Amino acid sequence: MTTETVRENPPSTIIAAFFGFLASTVSAIAGGLVILSSRADIEAALRKSDPQVAQDQLDRLTLLAQAIPVAIALVVAIVYLWLSFRLKAGRNWARVTLTVFTLLQAGSLLATEPSWAGYVSCGVAVVATVLSYLPPSNRYVAGVRRAV
């Protein structure tokens, strides 16, 4: 197998893992959008925690409670996308990093109350991680490593 062949033709397992991580990213973004649509619930929870808070302060707190998770989701999505493309290029460090992120994502399911999008995103990421370690993927990554 030549260097050009290795770089141009990732196996189907890597392609499936790549698309799996893309789908996981999209479902994570969907979870972030759910937060944007939950303004009334967030405001009610904040009001319940401090009934004496002024309306203008409540509005700012609600916006902050929406903005922080959405910003984090966007940053994570950008990093996931970049790592997915590096995985497709056969970079082992990207595969290892995606594995660690997937394990952290699975752990977060136990520590939080995730939405349906969180479960879908994690499930797809787990499948993508497994695909990235199957024998054809291992051969591809090893071939790219030798070529570099």
pLDDT in tens, 90-117: 999 999 999 999 999 899 888 888 777 7
Q: pTM here?
A: 0.80
CA distance 34 to 115: 8
- 21 pLDDT more than 90: yes
For residue 7, the model assigns a pLDDT of: 52
Q: Residues 125, 130, 131, 136: is their CA dihedral positive or negative? A: positive
CA distance 70 to 57: 20
CA distance 140 to 132: 10
- Average pLDDT of the residues in 21-42: 84
Residues 6+ apart with CB under 8 A from 134: 13
Q: What is the 3-state secondary structure (H, E, C) of the chain?
A: CCHHHHHHCCCHHHHHHHHHHHHHHHHHHHHHHHHHCCHHHHHHHHHHHCCCCCHHHHHHHHHHHHHHHHHHHHHHHHHHHHHHHHHHCCCHHHHHHHHHHHHHHHHHHHHCCCCHHHHHHHHHHHHHHHHHCCHHHHHHHHHHHHHC
Helix axes 92-111, 55-88, angle to 10 degrees: 150
Give the pLDDT band of residue 37 (cuts 50, 70, 90).
Answer: confident
For residue 106, the model assigns a pLDDT of: 92
For residue 53, the model assigns a pLDDT of: 87
- 3 pLDDT more than 80: no
For residue 8, the model assigns a pLDDT of: 61
- Average pLDDT of the residues in 132-137: 97
For residue 6, the model assigns a pLDDT of: 44
Say what percent of the chain tops pLDDT 70.
95
- Amino acid identity at 30: A
For residue 27, the model assigns a pLDDT of: 81
